[in-house]
Structure 1
Amino acid sequence: MEIKEIMQNVTDFFKEHVAPPHKITSVEAMEEKEGWKVTIEVIEEKEYMKKYAKDEMIGTYEVLINQDKEVTSFKRLDVRFRSAVDVESRR
């Protein structure tokens, strides 16, 4: 299944280069560019937060995937405390 492969590729990329994924919240086909846009949440600076007894920080990233299912770019959209209320879920 294509979506599973895309999600696995993004997960592997983030594990290796950014931070361990918390969850993938969306996978969307991009009509104009023949690829996909993925939104992923990762736990930011986990060891630092544990050391200082702070709540974990969750970073939300937008990831672009090409037609070969490879990550071509990513950017962090937001950082929040894990315990913070998610604004999207209240819509």
Structure 2
Amino acid sequence: MEIKKIIGNVTEFFNEFVAPVHKITSIEDAENGWKLTVEVIEEKEYMKKYAKDEMIGVYEVCLNQEKEISSYKRRELRFRSSINQE
């Protein structure tokens, strides 16, 4: 149930400090903790107001061995309707 705790910690942090989590697309065991890729819907109300497509922020998140967020960085900002090719 380690992954459930990781997902819970990241979701709680992003909901409070960044933006509501849309989905977590990857969780990887890293050298000194965990590395995740998290997608959030950026500025939802602003985009609705101007009838624009929602923007998705893609974040790289690092957790330490205690499953606490040690860093995060936005890697990409894209329209929700755009095709995501990796």
Q: Secondary structure at the match of 2:45?
A: helix
Quote the residue 2:5 is aligned against. 5
TM-superposed CA distance for 1:15, in Å, is: 0.1
Quote the residue 2:33 is aligned against. 35
Q: Secondary structure at the match of 2:16?
A: helix
TM-superposed CA distance for 1:58, in Å, is: 0.2
Quote the residue 1:62 is aligned against. 60
Provide TM-score, normalisation by structure 2: 0.97
TM-superposed CA distance for 1:75, in Å, is: 0.2
Q: 5+ residue gaps in structure 2?
A: none
Provide TM-score, normalisation by structure 1: 0.92
TM-superposed CA distance for 1:86, in Å, is: 1.1
Q: RMSD over aligned Cα, in angstroms? A: 0.6
C-alpha offsets along residues 56-83 of structure 1, whole Å, 9 cap, x if unaligned?
0000000000011101110000000000
Identity %: 69
